[in-house]
Each structure stands twice: as C-alpha cells, then as structure tokens.
C-alpha cells in the first residue's frame, strides 16, 4: 500500500469525530479533492457519504475498477447516476440530519435531493468541512516538497534561457515544459509571466510582449505531484536596476521576511497579514498592495486558511501557507515575492528553495 493509502484511515476517524461534533447522522461529500483526501480515489467524478459509522464511495461504471483498486476503508459501490445512488442509500433517512458542502453542491442538485430525500434535513456546511484538510500530515508534506523541488529545478533550467527579446509566452512555455519533464503531472495553475508594465497586473496571462532591458518580470508558477501543489512567485529584473524598483523590491522583501519571521503556531492569519501590510504601508506603498498576504496550499492551490485582514483563523503546527506580499504600480512595474512555509510550534520552515535576493537577468 502507498503511504497515501496508509494515511487515509486516520482521516476517516477525523470525519467521524467531526460528524459527532456537528450532530450529523449523515454527511455527503461532492468535492473531488475532499473525496481524494479521504478515500485516495483520483477519478474525476464520484460521491462520498458517511452514515451509521460507515464511509461509502459511489462511482459510475467508468470508475468502478479504478475505485476498487485505489480505495481502502470505504465501501465502494456502483451507481447509475449520483441522484439515484444517493436516493437508494438514503431511502430510510426520514428524520436524519445530513450535512453537505454548501460551496460545492449546485442549486439544481440541492433541489433534486430535497425532493428525493423528503423528511431528511439537509444541513449546509461551510468552514466545518472546508477546514478538515488544513493540517498536513507527513505523507502530504513529502508530496508538497516533491512538487516544490520539481518546480524549483524547472525554474533554474528556464532562467538560463531568458534573454532580452524573448516573449512572456515563450518563457512560460519553457517553464511549463520543464516542470512536466521533471515529473509534474500538471501545473498548479496557468503560469504567470508578466513583464514591464504588464507586471503591474497581479494575475496577468503571458502575452506576446518581448522582454526589455530594465523590465521587472514576475513569474508565478507551480507544479502538481500526486495531487499536491506548489506555488511560488519570483520577481526578476532584466539588464539594469533603476532605483525606484530597487527600493520597492527592498520594501516588499522586508514585508515578506518579517511576515515569515512572525509565522508560528498560535498567531492569527490576520496578524501575519498585518505584519506584511504594515511594513509596506509605513514605507508609503500601502495603496499598491491590493491583495491578501497568503493562502493555504495542498490538494488545492488555494485552500484554507486565508491570510488576509479579516481572517481570524489561528495558525497551527502542520499548516502549509504562502507568504506573498506584492506592490503594483499601474503602467510601470510590479513586484511580488512568494514562498511556501510549513507552520511549526515556534516558527516556520520555508519550503520553497529559490533565493529571494534581487536577481538581475541578462
């Protein structure tokens, strides 16, 4: 059995406990990442449910063999379609309270379920289910580290090729190709390569703009290994560094470093965001820091917790989050510096490997 399959069993206990805490008689899971986390099933469609202390994975004919091979600790059942499978499984559920992921179930499916499961209370769940993947175990950390390593090596290989006159699209294609050659099964998201004034768009798509001397170039990228993501942003300067960009880079880097220094178990996400934001604001660039400071990373590239001014979540040992302050001067340049860190009891461990000292490319 793989380490991931071994990891599944304690996760089932986690769900049973959560159901007790929430006074649920049943729980429906539609989010494929949650299902993968709990069962080990990697197919693109299925439903997982718990009732009477038993976990069941319902899949259609396309996935039954795969599910039987991959899943341990769950009853794997074949169903014609989701609705009929659930109707059958919950035909005797009158009076039961059954939770579901409010942010995942479609309105259409909710209406149909209500019709089919008359007399059953369907209870929408938010953070209660969104957060059960929030702490990473050893098997997950190993895969995240692998994804980080693949993406880092691909970046180093790509930087050798970057020259004035190359387009953003050419750089992103080279980087994506190398991540896949080095073992990424997928990209964490379409790679961002944004140069010159386009770097001021925090989520720019790579375009046909050619790299010029004096540009800042933001590269935000990541690899997926066995479902687990990496996420890193580097900002490079091409040819020569002007003093405005140099000063702004130093401010963003200081915000990034201070936030990482502040990360430890017991501190709230809001406080970490404040450390980064305060540093940028006191240096006069607060108006140009227009997004949160970070987010959790795991089976989703963006998952709980959020590191933002309103996030009350308290960091715990075993969370993996990004620290990614940025400033964007519209029409001129943008700078973002992003690392992934593992929260530890008295501090954190930086997982990403690329140096964040300012680097000049040819």
| Residues near Zn ion, by CB under 5 A | 220, 231, 233, 322, 338
251 vs 23: CA distance, rounded Å: 49
Which of 33/210 has CB closer to Zn ion? 33
Q: Return the half-sphere exposure (C-beta side, CA atoms, 13 A cut-off) of residue 116.
A: 16
Q: Interior CA angle at 158 toward 241 and 296, to 5°? A: 85
Which of 166/320 has CB closer to Zn ion? 320
Q: Report in angstroms how near the CB of residue 223 gets to Zn ion at its nearest.
A: 12
- Please answer whether residues 225 and 248 qualify as being in contact, where contact means their C-beta atoms are separated by less than 8 angstroms: no
Q: Report in angstroms how near the CB of residue 93 gets to Zn ion at its nearest.
A: 40
Q: Report in angstroms how near the CB of residue 190 gets to Zn ion at its nearest.
A: 11
Q: Report in angstroms how near the CB of residue 94 gets to Zn ion at its nearest.
A: 45
Q: Report in angstroms how near the CB of residue 85 gets to Zn ion at its nearest.
A: 36
Which of 174/338 has CB closer to Zn ion? 338
Please give the order of strands across the beta sheet that includes 216-221: 192-195, 216-221, 232-238, 360-361
Q: Which residues pair with 123 in a beta bridge?
A: 99
The candidate with the shortest Cα–Cα distance to 113, out of 130, 89, 135, is 89
141 phi/psi in degrees, rounded to 5: -65, -35
Consecutive H or E run containing 59: strand 54-59
Q: Report in angstroms how near the CB of residue 57 gets to Zn ion at its nearest.
A: 31
Which of 34/233 has CB closer to Zn ion? 233
Which of 98/307 has CB closer to Zn ion? 307
End-to-end alpha carbon distance in the chain: 48
Contacts of 204 (CB under 8 A, 6+ apart): 192, 194, 198, 218
């Amino acid at each position: 059995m793989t380490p991931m399959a071994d990891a599944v069993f304690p996760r089932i206990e986690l769900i049973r406990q959560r159901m007790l805490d929430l006074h649920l008689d049943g729980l429906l899971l539609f989010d494929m990442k949650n299902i993968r986390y709990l069962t080990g099933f990697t197919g693109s469609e299925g439903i997982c449910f718990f009732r009477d202390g038993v976990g069941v994975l319902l899949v259609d004919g396309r996935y039954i063999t795969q599910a039987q091979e991959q899943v341990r600790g769950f009853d794997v059942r074949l169903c014609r379609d989701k609705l009929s499978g659930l109707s059958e499984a919950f035909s005797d559920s009158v009076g039961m309270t059954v939770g579901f992921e409010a942010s995942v179930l479609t309105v259409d499916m909710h209406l149909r379920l209500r019709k089919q499961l008359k007399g059953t209370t369907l209870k929408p769940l938010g953070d209660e289910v969104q957060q059960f993947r929030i702490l990473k175990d050893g098997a997950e950390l190993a895969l995240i580290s692998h994804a980080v390593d693949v993406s880092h090596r691909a970046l180093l290989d790509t930087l050798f090729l970057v020259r004035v006159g190359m387009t953003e699209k050419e750089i992103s294609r080279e980087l994506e190709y190398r991540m896949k050659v080095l073992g990424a099964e997928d990209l964490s998201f379409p790679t961002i390569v944004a140069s010159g004034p386009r770097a001021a768009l925090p989520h720019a798509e790579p375009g046909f703009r050619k790299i010029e001397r004096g540009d800042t170039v933001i590269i935000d990228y990541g690899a997926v290994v066995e479902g687990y993501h990496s996420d890193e942003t580097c900002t490079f300067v091409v040819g020569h560094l002007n003093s405005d960009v140099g000063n702004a880079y130093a401010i963003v880097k200081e915000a990034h470093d201070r936030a990482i220094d502040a990360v430890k178990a017991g501190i709230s996400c809001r406080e970490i965001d404040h450390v980064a934001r305060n540093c940028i604001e006191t240096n006069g660039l607060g108006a140009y820091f227009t997004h949160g400071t970070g987010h959790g990373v795991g089976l989703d590239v963006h998952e709980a917790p959020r590191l933002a001014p309103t996030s009350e979540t308290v960091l715990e040992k075993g969370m993996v989050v990004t620290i990614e302050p940025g400033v964007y001067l519209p029409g001129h340049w943008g700078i973002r510096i992003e690392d992934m860190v593992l929260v530890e009891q008295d501090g954190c461990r930086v997982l990403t490997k690329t140096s964040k000292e300012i680097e000049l490319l040819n």
